[in-house]
Amino acid sequence: MLKKAVKIGSCLVIMAILLMFSGSNTASSSPESWADLAVHNFGAPINTMWDEGELSFADDGTMVFCSSRQDLAVAPGDLKDIYIATFNKETGTWNKPVNMGLPVNSAPATNIDPLRKGDDREPWISHDGNTIYFKSDRLATSNPRNVNDIFVTHKVNGVWATPELVPYPISTDNGNEHCPMLLRDGKTLCFASQREGGYGSFDIWCSQQDANGKWQQPVNQGPNINTSASEFHFMQDKQGWVYFTSSRPGGHGTMDIWASKQLGPNKWGPAVNVGPLVNGPGRNQCPALSPNDETFCWFSDSRADNSFGANDIYWTNKKNIDRVVGNR
């Protein structure tokens, strides 16, 4: 059964590539098929029997994501690592994912602090493929309790440099910052934080760099985005809509993906649930968009009908989301 699922998954990955890199949506001039309307597992070699999720793409199709797989972990017992998969134009699929290794990923260091479990995840890669922001527990402290901070690594002469802490006011001693990503303007860094001044647990905050490249005081993104529940991840499409995860009431599961239209700097319209095609009874979270904006991706723990095991990455035609939220 698993071999059959792998073969089906591989075929669907090729279909995803056609959607991601075609110059136009080929389904727009003909009746939509089941493949246009369905949710698909991303398939092998991306999904495995372990947890996969939290992906993003560079413009050339390079994918970064995280996995809890132990066969390629940087150290035994490593909680999660960041993987990278380059796009192979000759085969029309992704090459086998590679663990980004040390020093991008960190090994567990519970002998220094029990919170340092080697948890590196939530990578966001720049459009040119040369910068990755991510969250890590490599500097976690029990007192004050701070599990996560935000780091950045740059590719220099083809080699990923040692990650640097993105300092205060982005990372703080007790805000537990995570889920970093830039908006479409390329200069607004958004992330989740439990810092004071928010509406609830994790809120989404955004910051811009000054002329010297220093990040300014983050701005809470307000009550249309943040609630007394948890909000995180903030992926923006080319039309200005953002897609994010929330545990607010009114959804279909414990974690749902919602959307909101940008109305101005740090100003957003009312949040709209992206609907039951994506959101099921469990956790459906961390949306991502293909380079051409035509494929909507996320990960889920609640699609037992076509799961490789644990959390898997899924995709559907973004038009299915646009219909629900009113993005035309």
User: pLDDT digit string (tens) for 218-232?
Assistant: 999 999 999 999 999
Q: What is the mean pLDDT of residues 105-113?
A: 97
Least confident range of 195-199, 263-267, 308-312: 308-312
Instruction: Give the number of other Cβ atoms within 10 Å of residue 327's Cβ.
Output: 18
Least confident range of 28-42, 144-158, 226-240, 247-261: 28-42
User: pLDDT digit string (tens) for 119-134?
Assistant: 999 999 999 999 999 9
Place of tokens 């609640």: 302
- At residue 155's C-alpha, the angle toward residues 154 and 160, to 5°, is 90
Predicted pLDDT at 231: 97
* pLDDT(138) > 50: yes
Q: What confidence tier does 13 reach under pLDDT thresholds 50, 70, 90? A: low
**Fold of the domain built from segment(s) 2-22+33-325:** Neuraminidase (2.120.10)
Give, for 245, the enclosing helix (H) or strand (E): strand 241-246
Q: What is the pTM of this model?
A: 0.91
Give me the chain's average pLDDT, please: 90
In one-letter notation, the amino acid at residue 295 is: T
Q: Is the dihedral of CA 37, 39, 42, 43 positive or negative?
A: negative
Predicted pLDDT at 275: 95
Predicted pLDDT at 217: 97
Closest C-alpha among 188, 164, 162, 189 to residue 178: 189
Predicted pLDDT at 242: 97
Predicted pLDDT at 308: 78
Predicted pLDDT at 204: 98
Q: What confidence tier does 21 reach under pLDDT thresholds 50, 70, 90? A: low
What phi and psi values does residue 322 have, to the nearest 5 degrees? -60, -40
Q: What confidence tier does 113 reach under pLDDT thresholds 50, 70, 90? A: very high
Predicted pLDDT at 91: 82
* pLDDT(22) > 60: no
Instruction: Please state, for a pLDDT cut of 70, what percent of the chain lies above it.
Output: 89
Predicted pLDDT at 309: 76
User: pLDDT digit string (tens) for 249-261?
Assistant: 999 989 999 999 9
Predicted pLDDT at 9: 47
Place of tokens 């220094």: 112
* pLDDT(23) > 70: no
